[in-house]
Amino acid sequence: MQTKITIVGAGAAGLFCAGLLGQKGFDVTVIDNGKKPGRKILMSGGGKCNFTNLDIDAKHYISQNPHFCKSALSRYNQWDFIQLVNQYNIAYHEKDHGQLFCDNSAKEIVDMLVSECQKGGVKWMMQTQLDDVKIVADGFQLHTSQGIIESHSLIIATGGLSMPALGMTSIGYKIAEKFAIPVVPVRAGLVPFTLHKPLLDVLSPLAGIALPVEVANDKISFKENLLFTHRGLSGPAILQLSSYWQAGEFITINLLPDLPFESAFKPLLEKNRNQSLKNCLAQILPKRVVEALMQLNMIADKLVKQLNPNEQKQLYTALTQWQIMPNGTEGYRTAEVTLGGVSTDALSSKTMAAKSHPNLYFIGEVMDVTGALGGYNFQWAWSSAFACAKAFD
């Protein structure tokens, strides 16, 4: 089988790029090991797909080259993708921090992308395993479970290693390494933390409780919700921080991010001085959380009025500078993204082509560009795919 352009991966980046190239008149074939296209899209955002964000900026991306993503993000931005969504009359709404979600189902985004591919006559080879890629005189020879494909150009849109249950593999990295293209070491990102056993025994009964916090390490802080789980800690604040966390590093949790000591916390204690500390603090924190903190000896079992001014400050410090060393993360099984990937130093920021192999391209999550939680990774998929497709003009 011969084709002009082969795209490996029927995820967000691969589908969008295929549609753009097909409609330019190119002969495009998409291969994927799954039964259906867009599996990760369907799972995203609780089935509602957080397809972009109103505040797209390079500062929301992690990469060894923080400037790499700027060109693609500026050439195809959130408003461009929103325009496409509007053309398909897909209803959506804004959540916190500029996040845009489908009103109904993530399937609408997949259907839109598939429709764009159909307009361009894109060919599909689903449930097709890619085993090897070789360079031949006029391009590439792909050895697959469905036979050999010869292609002039090859676009790798295989995603990362997160959510292995959806069939994600390391094939994209292996192809890069085969062609001597460096790969930045990969690890799970936007992922819950696990906890060491003594602390987990105290906190796991709180599973399901969420509360607003500010979490930080030495590099960065995030002010969003924390969720207690049976394995440890999750929620938006924790997922965001996990992408910047290194094993063996403490994290600091501020349980009272909106309660300054002098203007709010101290007056609360004064007002409830005849109550137990437990009942007083249960006005600002979930009661079960307060009880757990007492188990951890962070809150004394005494009356408010028994605290002297110094002890009041010590209590406030304990609640706003709670230090925990996570045991680790839940890994790729529950991670939303993969950090690291194909080195951007080896790629053109304008076309996504490998500098050493002009007809070989990498787009989306397989590259060393990782967005924050909130639609940034989907926008990178759209933007990098657009930049790649423009290279064929």
The predicted pLDDT at position 189 comes to 96
DSSP character for 276? B
Question: What are the distances in angstroms from CA 215 to CA 78, 218, 264?
Answer: 28, 11, 20
The pTM for the full model equals 0.94
Sign of CA dihedral 104, 110, 243, 76: negative
Q: Each residue of 270-287: pLDDT tens digit?
A: 999 999 999 999 999 999
What is the rounded average pLDDT of the residues 89-97? 95
- pLDDT over threshold 90, residue 162: no
Q: Is 348 helix (H, G, I), strand (E, B) or coil?
A: coil
The predicted pLDDT at position 47 comes to 94
Q: Each residue of 347-362: pLDDT tens digit?
A: 999 999 999 998 999 9
The predicted pLDDT at position 163 comes to 75
Q: What is the CATH number of domain 193-329?
A: 2.40.30.10
What is the rounded average pLDDT of the residues 193-213? 97
Q: Each residue of 280-327: pLDDT tens digit?
A: 999 999 999 999 999 999 999 999 999 999 999 999 999 999 999 999
pLDDT tier at 3, thresholds 50, 70, 90: confident
Q: Each residue of 36-71: pLDDT tens digit?
A: 999 999 999 999 999 999 999 999 999 999 999 999
Domains in the chain: boundaries: 2-187+338-390, 193-329
pLDDT tier at 2, thresholds 50, 70, 90: low
The predicted pLDDT at position 50 comes to 97
What is the residue type of 268?
Answer: L
pLDDT tier at 84, thresholds 50, 70, 90: very high
The predicted pLDDT at position 129 comes to 93
pLDDT tier at 166, thresholds 50, 70, 90: low
Domain formed by 2-187+338-390, architecture: 3-Layer(bba) Sandwich (3.50)
Please provide the average confidence, as pLDDT, over all residues in the chain: 96
Helices (H), the chain: 12-23, 39-43, 68-75, 78-87, 107-119, 171-178, 197-203, 236-242, 266-271, 277-281, 287-295, 309-320, 376-390
DSSP character for 192? P
Alpha-carbon distance of 31 to 10, in angstroms, equals 7
Quickly count: other Cβ atoms within 10 Å of residue 26's Cβ: 19
DSSP per-residue codes, 243-266: TT--TT--EEEES-TT--IIIIIH
β-strands 2-8, 147-156: how paired? parallel
Give the tokens for residue 251.
Answer: 């994290």
What is the SS3 assignment for 326-338?
Answer: CCEECHHHCCCEE
The predicted pLDDT at position 1 comes to 65
pLDDT tier at 96, thresholds 50, 70, 90: confident
The predicted pLDDT at position 241 comes to 98
- pLDDT over threshold 90, residue 174: yes
